[in-house]
A and B are shown apart, each in its own frame.
Chain A
Amino acid sequence: MRLILLIAWRNILRHRGKSLVIGAILFLGALLMTVGNGVISGMAAGVEKNIVNGFMGDLVLISDKQKSDNILFEMMGAAIEPVSNYKAIKEILQKQEFVDRFLPVGKNLAMVLKEDEATPSGAYLLGVDFSDYRKMFPDNFKLIEGRWPRPGERSLLAPAFARQQFYDFANLWLVPEGGGKPLEPWPKEVVGNLKNVTVSTNIVMMGMASDVNTTTDIRFPVVGVVKFGALNKIFGHFCLVDIESYRECLGYFTASNKAVEVPKEEKRLLDMGGNDLDSLFGSAPLVVSNARSSGSKPPSGATSPLTLSLSKGEPSAPANVEDGVYNLVFIKLKPGVPYREALSRLNRALADGKTGIRAIPWNKASGPIGSMALIIKSALFIFVTLLFCVAIIIIVNTLTMAALERTSELGMMRAVGARKSFIGGMFLGETAILSALFGGAGLLTGILAVKLIPLFKITSDNDMVQILYGGDVFHPLLAAPDIVLSLFQLAAVTVFAAVYPMSVARGITPLDAISKD
């Protein structure tokens, strides 16, 4: 071994030009591999951080009737199936030791109604218990205007991105009740156009669920404007509303009604109008009246006989909010719990409990976002693999040429008594030394680069780039397994690059050497 390495090392020094070419390729390859692995890991960690910790948890429970697992941005606004047996689900979840937290939510599309807009725009509603939501996702967004909703308060938290969308498509600028100085200035285009825009402290929405086809209009008082820490243009589509208002808007029975959906017959009754619809709901807490707008320019649509106006700060006080209908349950797992195992165990428990509910992982639930992350990750992996291939091809070519140029020397070694394994080992040794020196240097430079890149605070507002970044700041990340992966990849390049030249060198016979001379 010592002799092999001695000859290999001296051959590297003797053929400095070729060694430098191979070394440079290995250096660049290792550098890009390491940074690439860092980007992939950073992206995976960032996406997990932002989606799992900031939006939907590790697992999501959906109804078995739900056709598509994509519950984030479902195609053509297809409705999310209702989940009416949350209490039974809750009991099952509480028994699972791997579950850290869970949060039932309503999630569906609603139409924004405004009397002076011919084409209504849409918005996603996320019906939640605000205090539970804050406990589940404590740092995912910040309040930039207004205040947090009070417990049980009928209200809406508008993401800054959704507010901009309302401005762009409905000429509506939402401001929180009570005003207050915004933490972030309004866009200049809005400030300069306030006279021509409807400035309102509430918004009227009509839920859109495919089975229910409700015509119930709900006026949501806006209490605050929030901004997500990352992926604001993705998560910012979702207006957070209290769960009871959400249920009413979507035509689901509220908690006190303990029913799944408003039957179509009853919806027809609702459509007939009237000022005393309370009787239809028994002790329902809703107050039906002509809509009142507290905005500066009340929409004439507020006179719709079926607009349910949610009185300011009035607690809904349902019998038990958990009795009502949800659409999803977000679940966070305890740290270190493998999600596949948890998924399997949870689905077994849900099936045993005959809940009609199934659990899906976050990347399936987040649909195109999860897929996009996977696609980008795969693309990066393919890029790194292609890089390997190019590096391998160049190294193979250079080493093969070196082997053929050294036919006399290698043939003479064989004539003197060197076995094929010695010749092969010598070539592998040369490649291994070059890999260790130049590849090692590339790897260390890559690690340094991954550590330094976050210091530059490279940011982007672009959604796709944010998915690549795993947030709004480019933050590649290298953990020990990533470094081991890079080392493994480097070793693989070394072995693959040496195989063919080795076989060429091993095939050189003493006769070849004599013939060449």
Chain B
Amino acid sequence: MNIIEIRGLKKDYPLGDTLVNALRGVDVTVESGEFMSIVGPSGSGKTTLLNVIGCIDFATEGSVQIGGREITAMNDRQITDLRLHKIGFIFQTFNLIPVLDVVENVEFPLLLMKSLSRSEIRKRADRLIAEVGLQSFAKHRPSELSGGQRQRVAIARALVTNPDIVLADEPTANLDSVTGASILELMKDMNTQEKTTFVFSTHDANVLKYARRIVKIHDGLISPN
């Protein structure tokens, strides 16, 4: 079953007087439970592709379906709700809420969903924090954590809502190699345990060995394997 289905995706950016063709007709499908990496050099369009899949950016042309729903026709509220319920994000720069501690950061999406009781939210957050190995840091603020620990919190937050897809844009770019490897191991474990689809971008060859499927992108086009 395809969880992501992209057809003829084009994305243009105006840059001064010129128009940059970031994506020039991308066709790609992702099956549920995949652990897929999008690779390519800087400026190839991998981040743009991830952003469009994550409903963070919008296609200029083409079709993008997430879980069978066409997102290009959705309004802001529908897209926000889709992000909340179906997609988890792991950003390159960690991006945690600085005024919330670890457990509150992980709880944040669940609190936005308003579908679970307070105790259930706490229970689920505690489980995820334990899975990423940060029980003893539960009451720490992001500023009190290392880069690797923050990225673990981001992973726990991305997974806490049981999303269909987790998108990670160069999740190890700001980490040392050991920490980066542990993060990828963790993501892979989660993929195995939770059956969550992971799509991550990287231009680091060392990261690729973790991916079960690799999609290469170059100059805004998917390169044939």
What's the nearest-Cβ distance from chain A to residue B67, in Å? 15
Which residues from chain A contact B98 at a C-beta distance below 8 Å? 14, 409
CB closest residue in chain A, given B158: A416
Q: Give the complex CA separation of A509 and B93 in angstroms.
A: 16
Find B84's partner among A11, A409, A416 (CB 8 Å cutoff): A416
A114 at the interface (CB under 8 A from B): no
| B110 to A, closest residue via Cβ | A417
Specify which of A13, A409, A509 is in contact with B97 (CB 8 Å cutoff): A409
Q: Report the bound CA distance from A509 to B92 in whole Å.
A: 17
Residues of A within 8 A of B95 (CB): 408-409, 412, 415, 513, 517
A413 to B95, CA, bound (A): 9
CB of A163 within 8 Å of the partner chain:
no
B100 adjacent to chain A (CB < 8 Å): yes
Q: Does B56 contact A (CB under 8 A)?
A: yes
Q: Distance (Å) between the CB of A487 and the closest chain B CB?
A: 29
Kindly supply a per-residue 1/0 record for chain A positions 303-319, scoring 1 wherever the CB is within 8 Å of any chain B CB and 0 otherwise: 00000000000000000
* Interface: A419 (CB within 8 A): yes
Contacts of B161 in A (CB 8 A): 417
Looking across the interface, which residue of chain B has its beta carbon closest to that of A12? Answer: B99
The interface size of chain B toward A, counting residues with CB under 8 Å, comes to 31
Cβ-based interface call for A379 (8 A):
no
Decide if A377 is an interface residue (CB 8 Å cutoff).
no
Among B47, B92, B109, point to the contact of A416 (Cβ < 8 A). Answer: B109
B46 close to chain A: CB less than 8 A: no
Interfacial residues of chain A within 454-508, with CB under 8 A of chain B in the complex: none
Within 8 Å of chain B (Cβ to Cβ): is A514? yes
CB-based nearest B residue for A10: B99
The docked-state distance in angstroms from the alpha carbon of A420 to that of B91 is 20
Query: Which of B76, B91, B111, B161 is packed against the most chain A CB atoms within 10 Å?
Result: B91
Interface residues on A, range: 20 to 34
85-113 of chain B: CB within 8 A of chain A: 85, 89, 91-93, 95-100, 104, 108-109, 111-113
Docked complex Cα distance between A412 and B93 (Å): 10
Structural contact, A511 and B51, CB atoms closer than 8 A: yes
User: Are A416 and B157 closer than 8 Å at their CB atoms?
Assistant: yes
Q: Is the CB of B92 within 8 A of A418?
A: no
Cβ contact within 8 Å between A517 and B91: yes
Asked whether A418 and B91 contact (CB < 8 A) given A14-B98, A511-B57, the answer is no
Closest to A412 in B: B95
A137 contacts the other chain (Cβ, under 8 Å)? no
Complex contact A419–B51 (CB within 8 A): no
User: With A and B bound together, what is the CA distance between A167 and B219 in angstroms?
Assistant: 101
- Once the chains bind, are B112 and A418 in contact (CB under 8 Å)? yes
A7 CA to B104 CA, complexed, in Å: 10
- Chain A residues 373 to 415 lying within 8 A of chain B, measured CB to CB, are 408-409, 412-415
Shortest beta-carbon contacts, A-B, top 9:
A417-B84, A10-B99, A412-B95, A510-B56, A517-B93, A3-B111, A417-B83, A417-B112, A419-B80
**Which A residues are within 8 Å of any B CB, using their own CB?**
3, 6-7, 10-11, 13-14, 408-409, 412-420, 422, 509-511, 513-514, 517
Query: What are 20 inter-chain pairs, A to B, with CB distance below 8 A?
Result: A6-B100, A7-B99, A7-B100, A11-B99, A14-B98, A408-B95, A412-B96, A413-B97, A413-B108, A414-B80, A415-B91, A415-B95, A416-B108, A416-B112, A417-B109, A417-B112, A418-B80, A419-B77, A510-B54, A517-B93
